[in-house]
A and B are shown apart, each in its own frame.
Chain A
């Protein structure tokens, strides 16, 4: 993404200006043709690698470290620009060999950097225990930067040398980048990520071999050597093993004697492993009542990216062995429906996985079960590979399995359900360690619950089960989210439609379409009593009914629920030491419970048992921000400050301008990536599509600004118009995107990708204008400031990628987008001071 702006430099710096950030005037001396094919291939490799890393880190660690990878990529590009500035005189005579070398180095570093990063024993869970962990995180970050450094160096060399043909180079570069970022998604459907890494290595070697031909480098054997190397890598090099952290669920399961992987599947949505253990069987019955005497039947564990498991239960049509499913808190809604004399409910299961909740619905006599699972590989396992084992579960006439995104499915469905069950999707360990604190989750937002409730039959209900956390976090956040939704829907007394129970490990919330009746309340009480589950809330509940079986030092759940339904709700939310404001589509970080004002107290208690209260994802994000700041100063700004460039420091307006547009660009881009996760259903799709769209259309904007409008408009006018248009578009999108997503979310992936690109295109075009336009201006008036402008912009991009994530969590996407617009306006003011 850095390239979106970095690569714009040569385009804006028209050959007539005769100024290039690196290898000044070198291009004018060059007579040969640029290596267009090699450039396209190199760009494709780098962008594909950037997207692929998101996938690989998702498998190795827990959270998709997208923001860190983007920041590392920016750092690589920024540092390469600084190096080229400093060494331009030395590199210029050998640019051809240098280009071939960096392309080959890229091929070498892509697998090597990832391999070495895996050797660093970085463990996020120990981040606050072990003082060495931040250094290990920094080492991973710097290693990840290296391939991007090579990529930046390669493209920079071409622009420096073939300045007059910059627009054509740029076209190849952008085309390659676009194909790479989107193409890798397609390739991930065909082969696992480790093999894609090998394929990219081969591609980068071929790019360097092709460069030898295109640049007419005389060393004949070099091309043959590189081709042979590419062939050898393709045929003989073992794929880099992707090792999930030893603390991931899959690693833990495979340590158990007798465990073996019986099936593996891979797609961009996840790497699936099915684990069988006949010696020590999986027995998944989350939070089963202590009064239960039954044992789950044989099960297989289905792990996605090493997380899970989702149980694939052996089933032969006999419901009796499934009685353990009646001993879970999630069985509550069936008993309430039964009290309504509804013994044959229509049920929708969201996040059906390998079918546990579907079996629970069948056990309770459901007439129809619609099961929605995001990953078709998971539904296919139940339908095909383990069809007999699963008792043909997803092909039963009363079960309809859909591979679809939950929100999209509910939006497009015309069905009405007696019960919508939101399954317990994440594992207890990852949830309790705060591993999802930074990730977007659009299943539990206000808008999501609103949609679910709109699909209920009269008297129907929504049931959501979560892991129990102490002091309560998920449960209270969900409770207040439901209360908010009911209020927004015009329900006068939301308290009459809510009920919540807790076991020793799980909590189940019911949100009903109408008031709970006395009969239903009796059913809730009886269900809980028989299983020693505690009543957390029901309409009319008394305090002494709480906290009877699983005794807490205080009836936290009941007290919290009552406070959240009363007039002092906001006061309670403000005073609560965890963040329990309802999640919304604008701030979809449901698992964010961290509050800065409680951090010091919790941190002080870390050795007194308080560590789990502090979600590690926050310190990790802050640590990443600090290291991004330090690394970009050390690798981008400091080398310039220590070189001859220290004599050519830019004026304050110039520095402010390039700092501002660097930050604003990243704010806008990161906010849109995260916002489009809802629409495109998966973070990886969002990264690839948004990245590709920003890349291509910012380039087009740059061309329009730099070429088509050249000579017609003043510099300040161009930038001001672009910023105004961008601001108007951003505001328009803030207003219409929620509704648009709601209305179009059910469309096919292909349609949604096209719509996303169309939406981003005009915005990105406007954002493509400020950098090259101002660079052109500098070239004419303050040429010596160009390396600084470039470096300051690089610094802002590196820091901005992480800062945008942090701000989005705290303030929401809308505020981050508004901030970006505001910063662009500040940039305009600064521009007027020097242009």
Chain B
């Protein structure tokens, strides 16, 4: 779906190559697209969602070279040569990982729109800090918003995921 804008205005579409959820891929990208548009329009991946459009809610969280970014503010061209991981990436066994299982177990979501962002940030938190305190959790996840207000259950889920990860090791 190359927009007419890019064609008619002669905006330079570039081909970029990167790894998407472990697979090498390439895509033609207009320079004004953000990462969410790239994932949705070129790869049909809709787990990263634009909501506030200002990098304040975390619904568009994507991991680029292992670090969480706001996909709605991140220019698509910048992932050229990078490793991109989205919520659609599946664990080696193909099933859900400890964080996802913990979110289900703790009932840590309602509408589910913000959930991919919370799951990705929780993974990153537990990678950095396998045994976070409640304060650590609140601080680390303060950039993700949940309008359904599932925060108490999310905190429980993070604690549970930490325990499950330990048990796995």
Q: Do A and B come from one complex?
A: no
